Structure 1
Amino acid sequence: MALTRRNLLTSAAGALIAAPLAGCVTQEGPEQAFAPQSITPIKPLSKSSVYVPGYMPNAAQVNGRPVKEDSYFARNISDPARPFRLLTRIGMDGEARQALLPAYAHDVEISPDSSVGVMCGFEATDQVAFDPDTLDLVAVAPSFDKGWRGGGHAAYLGNGKTVLMSERAPKQSLRDGKIEAHYGRITIRDVDTLKIRGSYSTHGIDPHDIRLIENDRYLVVANYGSLRNASTGKMEVPRHVHEACVTIIDVDSGKLLDKRVTNRRDSELRHLAAGALDRIFAIQARLGSEADLARDLGHEREAYGEDITSEPGIAYRAAATLKMAKGKAPRQMGGRRDTAEMRHGLSIRYDAKHDQAIASYPSAHRLIIFDGASGAVLQSFDTHKMGLRFPCGITLLPDGVHYAVTGYWENLFVFERGSHRLNREACLYPTFFGHSHITAA
């Protein structure tokens, strides 16, 4: 299998994927001194676009009727009974394009050459590829196997000919103690057809976010760790979490090189940012009841609105964001007061130029900036006071100077990297109809 996969990836990714260096991961040393990295702008800000997969297209109308009934918006939909999402392409010059695509999508990624994009199916069967310019459908493909579910995230290999996608095993309870039966997989797919060319285990339960590092040598995977209750067969609140972890996998061979486990039984490990082996940052999410949240927020003396990013009867409680280091217990970033604001940790991006991680916490209307080396909280913003409610998606813009943050339902705010000053003149105010993640090209 290793030889077959090696031939596959070598032909797909060319010289960008080199053979792994023996002992590279296991020899990870102390935190390395940070050397600022120069970022070559891909395009000016005005020529860039941000892509947002909207969760609730049934709430959207055009020309006085639902978007799914409009021939232009629904041109990619052949079966309206199957799941679909409303993809929005926001030009930073203010131009907007929208189209429905047939996937129950969570994230969107654009290939390095901007020739194709993928909307990543989540907890459903289909993945889709699309044209980033027109938003026309390119391909639809099923998940890994019968009963398998999309993991919600993808990563393109450097040459843009191959895309890696996280996929989840069929839902079942842990009855026989064989945890490996619950591990997800990474599928290796052609970008144009999404045909599966190979796969390997994520070595974790319910994989979700994935990142390529070290010139595509290693794949870093965030694994929820959630299992159904063995007695009821249901996903309960709080979640029953077993081995929530970050796994580091050799892209060439599929070999597990490291596994960093949180040992939290009530908190899922959902999203991550990574710039190198010693720059891995992981966001946790802890679910509770509305009564739990009421106790947590009992000190509040100002009225606040309901959390539109959570499900009825379920609340997001505080859960620390972690820095994951080889051979060490996961380290909480920030102090107790900072952690109290880390409710529903969602998007996180690593800015290599400034050695900082930028994370959103929509349930607390919070944007937090972490130092890459120490994990210390550098800045923390209440975005609600800026006019940005429920900050969700974060993406570094291709100009190398700015990043964008989008509100769950509407609005796109632009900040300057490093200083984190709000660039009010560059902000835009579209409606997305709910979302989690964004990407720029």
Structure 2
Amino acid sequence: MILLKNAKKLLPTNQLEDLDVLIDNERIIEMGSTITKEAYQIIDCQGNLLLPGFVDVHVHLREPGGEHKETIKTGTEAAARGGFTTVCAMPNTNPVPDNPVVLQELQEKIKQDAVVRVLPYAAITKGLKGEIITPIRELASLGAFAFTDDGVGIQTADQMFQAMKQAAACGKPVVAHCEDNTLVYHGVVHDGEISERLKLPGIPSLSESVQIARDVLLAEASGCHYHVCHVSTKESVRVIRDAKKAGIQVTAEVTPHHLLLNETDIQTGDTNFKMNPPLRAKGDQKALFEGLLDGTIDFIATDHAPHAETEKAQGFQKAPFGIVGLETAFPLLYTQLVKTNKCSLTQLIDWLTVKPAAVFRLPYGRMEEGAIADITLVDLEKASRINKRNFYSKGRNTPFQGWTVTGLPVMTIAKGKVVYKEDTHA
């Protein structure tokens, strides 16, 4: 039994109120301004803010096959340090979780090594090759969180339609990395100001938005819940907004880096600014935040994508796409959005907890009596400079190196167990 004393909770008015929390058998059994019951462990929260554990439906843990980039252990330790208690692992691993054997082996590895909850995706197509659809019903029955070929778009409408119909039949979402390969043109940055300045091939916005436009109609016809990964363009926001108005079951996410950066922030030669989708124009960045505010985009997900430093050192043409994000997401967003009055703290917390959980019908993201004790303690006054050398993740690929941020997770509790406490591995 754990008693959290001297904490604060966030009210809907964005005010703070005194809070004690009693945890037993992985659940919150009592919440109140003053709890005096005896407990096995008493933790003084020192007036810091208690929040529901954050939920990230888009992370890459790289294991199996990419352990030099990240492992389930290091990735979930990074998640815990960032305040995340539930993460959903993408299937672009080797082998791919495209059959029952690999999925079950992955689930066993998660049980052994994960320090926070990991919900694994299964692939839409065998080997993520876009050719043969996986046994969706069987994989769903074995606990696949959802279905995606993240990293590559499903190129044919018929294949996406068939996958959606099968997923809908077993109540599972289809989650899409939207990219029409015929419109990518071997690009490595956004097709705009930056591609001209750096003389690099550009990725047009149309490569993303045209596939979303196709897929929302397929979702309508199939009755499938269709979720769009890492939206990056103003045209994509417009298509999703129109689809929602039409009553189509479409949801969407945006990353911290697409909210906080645009193509003009890219530093020449620094491949830590290379991600897919790429950083777009200022107008796209503006549309993404407006879409988040009005509910067109449902929540924030990190797309945590670790790579080895040697891989990222190959230059823009050869370096892999992607950046890490689990350890920096909350302080960056709090500093850049809440502290600048662009949104409220309540809105930010909803985008990281309640809303992703609600979209995917997960029983997490809330801090209330009877709920699973997934809790993050945040010091809103604590400031620090982002230092990639201190990351728990194996990945060091961040464009936010050296940024000063405020609002740091100082303790994370997952299923009633302390899994992170300020600068120490629990």
What is the TM-score with the length of structure 1 in the denominator? Answer: 0.32
Provide the TM-score with structure 2 as the length reference: 0.32
> Which of structures 1 and 2 has the larger relative contact order (alpha carbons within 8 angstroms, sep 6+)?
2
More strand by share: 1
